[in-house]
Structure 1
Amino acid sequence: MGASGAVTRSTLRQQIADALRDEVLAGRLQPGREFTVKQIAEQYGVSATPVREALFDLSAQGLLESDQHRGFRVREFTVADYRSMVQARTLVIDGVIRSAVPGPGIPVGRSATYENSLVSVRRRAQEAARAAQGGDLDILIGYDLRFWRELGALFDNAYINDFLHRLRVQAWVFAVPYLRHDVSARDWLWHGHPELVAAITLGDHDAVRAVMHDYNAHALSWADRLAAGNPPPPGRAPRTTAPPFAAPGAPFTTSEPGAHGPSS
């Protein structure tokens, strides 16, 4: 395959992965939903190769499970899984704060690039908080993931940032089915993003830790509520291989950007 063909296939692979990830985050592909490479390829009007690669990419990210005989299935996370995600990110972020955020009274030296990036992160924070306060789950997921991704980039460790992004995507995949069916969901949408940016801007180590403590305690409190059955677990997706999204044969072309909603 020539270079142009390789780029085209790679682009399709990413577009399909992005589109399916968005379907999972939006709750349209529910936990337990099964499908095959052939069905996805027919759905989007593309060949099987980029679809198979996209599905294996999502499996590597922990969002799908592969079965030799049944195809692929959207992974079902438990409350215990979610609690472990929160605990893992807490340990990692605590280390990042200690190493990257100066303590009280320590001067903050930053480059112009850092300051410009911080302006963008601040805008993301405001948009995420506004969506959370308004109970707009779809908009919140997109801005929340972008916020944390851009914020993590400020600390210049791509490995940690990628790990935390993966955890947050998985956490949203777990949370979405519950939040879609919980009348009090708005009360459980954290909106402290601007306070965190303000603390980082000041270089206030203690303030950053306080906001992050609130963030993680909020998530663990919600996990305790779910473990107690309030609200009860959402209904499991039926074991069917019929894809519940898009119109049959909807084409996927490299001339248009892929679906980059929540997961960009």
Structure 2
Amino acid sequence: MSVDLPEGRGNPVLGSLAARPSLRSRVVDVLREAMVAGELEPGRIYSAPALAERLGVSATPVREAMMELTQEGLVETLRHRGYRVVELDDVDLDEILQVRSLLEVPTVGRVAETAAPEQVAALRPVADRLDETARTGELREFIAADMTFHLELLSIAGNRRLVEEVRRLRGLSRLSALHRLYEEGRLEATAREHHLLLDLVEARDRTGAEDLMRRHLGHVRGIWAGRDEG
């Protein structure tokens, strides 16, 4: 696992800062995806130097990233020991999904009523990427594309704070059964739901989009998390 430094010399400094995410933000994204995928295990303690070596960066951006992830509730900072990935129980997961349903389901409904055709079209390549990664078993890439798809879809509604809160809540989900889902050949069916959701949004079918989004969230409580669906 490595984090590539930005390329491109000769660009204006302000332009490059605006156009490219910081190293810290990329480390945050990679660590968050690894936690969601279960590569960084709940309850285990990790040190910044060890994680930095795996990522191919210095320990400083890892420590900065861990501070941000601590604020999001994903990890606990243990003085002189490192960082422990927070463990979630069934009550935690139920509460998170209840809040996500309250935020995401009606917002997707509003998007179905207001999205412009070009906004829907812009998400089709992301849905294609989900199909591809589901087929090949690139699970961390699947999680990254899934996060991009849903946050970009919600952002059409124009509420930046809602999008950031959903990002935080999605990061708390643990998709520990994702690898099993791939091995059983069921991950591709889950990926196809993203195309169906776009079809409903494009058709301005608010009720259909909300119903599908509600079922889609159920996967987090069910097979994606290795528990019975609620």
The structural deviation recorded for 1:158 is: 0.9
Q: Is the 8 A contact 1:82 1:223 kept in 2?
A: no
Q: Which moved more, 1:66-75 or 1:36-45?
A: 36-45
**Counterpart in the other structure of 1:140:** 142
The structural deviation recorded for 1:200 is: 0.7
**Counterpart in the other structure of 1:203:** 204
After superposition, the Cα gap between the structure-2 partners of 1:98 and 1:17, relative to the gap in structure 1 and judged at 3 Å, is closer
The structural deviation recorded for 1:69 is: 4.4
Q: Which moved more, 1:17-26 or 1:181-190?
A: 181-190
Distance 1:21 1:223 in 2: 16
Q: 1:126 aligns with which of 120, 125, 128?
A: 128
Q: Which moved more, 1:160-169 or 1:191-200?
A: 160-169
**Counterpart in the other structure of 2:58:** 46
Distance 1:58 1:16 in 2: 11
Distance 1:186 1:205 in 2: 30
The structural deviation recorded for 1:208 is: 1.0
Distance 2:146 2:202 in 1: 19
Seq. identity, %:
25
The structural deviation recorded for 1:72 is: 0.9
The structural deviation recorded for 1:56 is: 0.3
Look up the SS of the partner of 2:152 in the other structure. helix
Structure 1, residues 166-186: CA drift from partner, whole Å, max 9, x if none?
222221xx113x333568654
Distance 2:137 2:48 in 1: 35
TM-score (norm 2): 0.72
Structure 1, residues 134-176: CA drift from partner, whole Å, max 9, x if none?
65533421221111121112111111111112222221xx113
Look up the SS of the partner of 1:73 in the other structure. strand
Distance 1:210 1:25 in 2: 25
Residue type at the aligned position of 1:187:
R
Residue type at the aligned position of 1:128:
L
The structural deviation recorded for 1:52 is: 2.5
Q: Is the 8 A contact 2:105 2:214 kept in 1?
A: no
Give yes or no for the alignment of 1:187 onto 2:186: yes
After superposition, the Cα gap between the structure-2 partners of 1:139 and 1:205, relative to the gap in structure 1 and judged at 3 Å, is same
Distance 1:19 1:98 in 2: 30
**Counterpart in the other structure of 1:236:** none
Distance 1:72 1:161 in 2: 26
Look up the SS of the partner of 1:190 in the other structure. helix
**Counterpart in the other structure of 1:175:** 175
After superposition, the Cα gap between the structure-2 partners of 1:67 and 1:197, relative to the gap in structure 1 and judged at 3 Å, is same
Distance 2:33 2:226 in 1: 26
Residue type at the aligned position of 1:180:
H
The structure that is helix-richer by fraction is 2
Q: 1:31 aligns with which of 33, 37, 42?
A: 42
Distance 1:195 1:180 in 2: 23
**Counterpart in the other structure of 1:14:** 25
Larger RCO (alpha carbons 8 Å, 6+ apart): 1
Give yes or no for the alignment of 1:75 onto 2:86: yes
The structural deviation recorded for 1:53 is: 1.8
How much is the aligned-residue C-alpha RMSD, in angstroms? 3.4
Look up the SS of the partner of 2:76 in the other structure. strand
**Counterpart in the other structure of 1:214:** 215
The structural deviation recorded for 1:67 is: 1.8
Residue type at the aligned position of 1:29:
L
Structure 1 unmatched runs, 5+: 103-107, 229-264
Aligned length: 209
**Counterpart in the other structure of 2:9:** none
